[in-house]
Amino acid sequence: MDSCATIARYGHRLSATACLDLDSREPMADKLRDDYNTRRVTMATQTASVTPWIQISDYSPENWTAERARACCDRLESNQILFFARPPFPFSGTDRAYFLAQKSSDSRLHKNVSYRPASDVLRGFGGDDRSSRLMHDTMRNYSLQVVGFVKNLLTPYASKLQLDYASFRPIEEEGRDLPLHKRNDLLHVDAFPSRPTRGGRILRVFTNISEKARVWITTDRFPALAERFAREAGLPKIAATSGWRGVRHLLHSVGVPIPDRSAYDEFMLYFHDWLKENSRFQSECVKEQIDFPPMSTWLVYTDGVPHAVLSGQYALEQTFIVPREALVKPQVSPIRVLEELAGAVLAG
Ligand code: SIN
Ligand code: FE
């Protein structure tokens, strides 16, 4: 067995141990816990420096304080995953049963269903008017509940959050036959070709509504990855285009119909593909496996936490764009990490 496979196996074993530790230290269970240091020591000999998640067990909309909300933003922005054992927003057994009854073999469902809250539009679900209306209503309700929850959990973001798409993922992820750049079983950081963020961050809320675990792998977080690979992946060349992109942005903002993508967005899109194409990185990087149990919910900045989903079926997800001015720790955001490395402004 090669050393990478050994590390991956250790990663799996250690992550299982850490989860047990979290569960067994009940006196701490009602606190927002950061076991980062413990895990760094535990894992020092395996060189991994990631932590599986921070479990939150005491959240309720009534008792949440500004201090706790800010601490959650801080942890998320530091590329940690916040974990809830059950959905922390209203989600009925009826809705779960409805989603689980959708069979991926059904011709109406051959890919993910998406819902756009800003325009109230459902995509990716065929079928007659009645069944489309039911899916639309159920997705709208899910999205509304998650938005309400996130605004309450992360109050520093509440007034500035941009609602992106929600999705229902009914397809088994293991063995999906997708083109390379669309494969989600390869490690990557997220970037959306049609929705540039200009340095805003991509926050996603997942709920595993299946009866089996959803299995992810992660590796070192964005700052370490960028430090190691950004130059090789073409950051200097893309940073050099920042000037004319700035001019285009100004023209675009006064109504000239030209494409408007910042150097930051260009690099993040390129890096997404570059990581997936890089078989050496995919096979040799340190990996940690995370098994998200049935009915767990997790929040994660997927532009800062490289991830791949190895298996799992039936998940719901809502995405938000958190603009730069809402971040509580902008100095560690991917745009700032890249600007530091490039010595240039990447979204003027
Ligand atoms: C992704 O790569 O963004 C998808 C992760 C998942 O569906 O669990
Ligand atoms: Fe992704």
pLDDT (tens digit per residue) in 109-150: 768 999 999 999 999 998 788 999 999 999 999 999 999 999
107 pLDDT band (50/70/90 cuts)? low
For residue 184, how far is its CA from the centre of ligand 1 (angstroms)?
Answer: 6
Ligand 1 neighbour 307 (Cβ under 6 A): yes
pLDDT at 56 over 80: yes
Average pLDDT rounded to a whole number, residues 324-328? 98
Give the ligand 1 atom nearest the CA of 184.
Answer: 2
pLDDT at 272 over 50: yes
Average pLDDT rounded to a whole number, residues 183-190? 97
Give the closest residue (by CA) to ligand 1 atom 7: 309
Pairwise CA distance, residues 295 & 85, whole Å: 7
For residue 54, how far is its CA from the centre of ligand 2 (angstroms)?
Answer: 20
- Mean pLDDT is lowest, of 49-58, 126-135, 159-168, for 49-58
For residue 189, how far is its CA from the centre of ligand 2 (angstroms)?
Answer: 6
201-208/315-322 β-pairing: antiparallel
For residue 247, how far is its CA from the centre of ligand 2 (angstroms)?
Answer: 31
The CA distances from residue 87 to 142, 169, 228, in Å, are: 11, 17, 36
For residues 153 and 147, is the Cβ–Cβ distance under 8 A?
Answer: no
Give the ligand 1 atom nearest the CA of 169.
Answer: 7
The CA distances from residue 75 to 12, 71, 161, 247, 332, in Å, are: 22, 6, 17, 35, 11
Residue 127 structure tokens: 């079928």
Ligand 1 neighbour 169 (Cβ under 6 A): yes
pLDDT of residue 259: 79
pLDDT at 85 over 60: yes
pLDDT of residue 14: 34
Pairwise CA distance, residues 303 & 272, whole Å: 9
116 φψ region: left (φ > 0), alpha (ψ -120 to 50), beta (else)? beta
Average pLDDT rounded to a whole number, residues 2-7? 29
Give the ligand 1 atom nearest the CA of 188.
Answer: 2
- Mean pLDDT is lowest, of 92-96, 128-132, 162-166, for 128-132
Q: At what angle do helices 242-253 and 263-277 cross, to 10 degrees?
A: 120
Average pLDDT rounded to a whole number, residues 44-60? 71
DSSP 188: B
Pairwise CA distance, residues 131 & 269, whole Å: 36
> Is the four-CA dihedral 270, 276, 282, 287 of positive or negative sign?
positive
pLDDT of residue 292: 98
Closest residue by Cα to residue 206 from 229, 186, 190: 190
For residues 204 and 236, is the Cβ–Cβ distance under 8 A?
Answer: no
Residue 76, amino acid:
L
pLDDT of residue 51: 60
Give the closest residue (by CA) to ligand 1 atom 1: 184
Ligand 1 neighbour 167 (Cβ under 6 A): no
pLDDT of residue 126: 85
Average pLDDT rounded to a whole number, residues 260-288? 97
- Mean pLDDT is lowest, of 40-44, 161-165, 239-243, 300-304, for 40-44
Q: CB neighbours of 102 closer than 8 A, spacing ≥ 6?
A: 109, 135, 168, 170
Query: Where are the domains positioned within the chain?
Result: 23-342
Ligand 1 neighbour 315 (Cβ under 6 A): yes
pLDDT of residue 42: 30
Residue 183 structure tokens: 């494969």
Ligand 1 neighbour 14 (Cβ under 6 A): no
- Phi/psi of residue 250, each to 5°? -60, -45
Ligand 1 neighbour 276 (Cβ under 6 A): no
For residue 241, how far is its CA from the centre of ligand 1 (angstroms)?
Answer: 31
- pLDDT tens by residue, 14-48: 333 333 222 323 333 334 433 332 233 233 334 44
> Which runs of consecutive H residues, i.e. helices, occur in 83-221?
93-100, 129-153
pLDDT of residue 233: 97
For residue 173, how far is its CA from the centre of ligand 1 (angstroms)?
Answer: 9
pLDDT at 180 over 80: yes
Ligand 1 neighbour 220 (Cβ under 6 A): no
pLDDT at 310 over 90: yes
Give the ligand 1 atom nearest the CA of 307.
Answer: 2
Average pLDDT rounded to a whole number, residues 315-320? 98
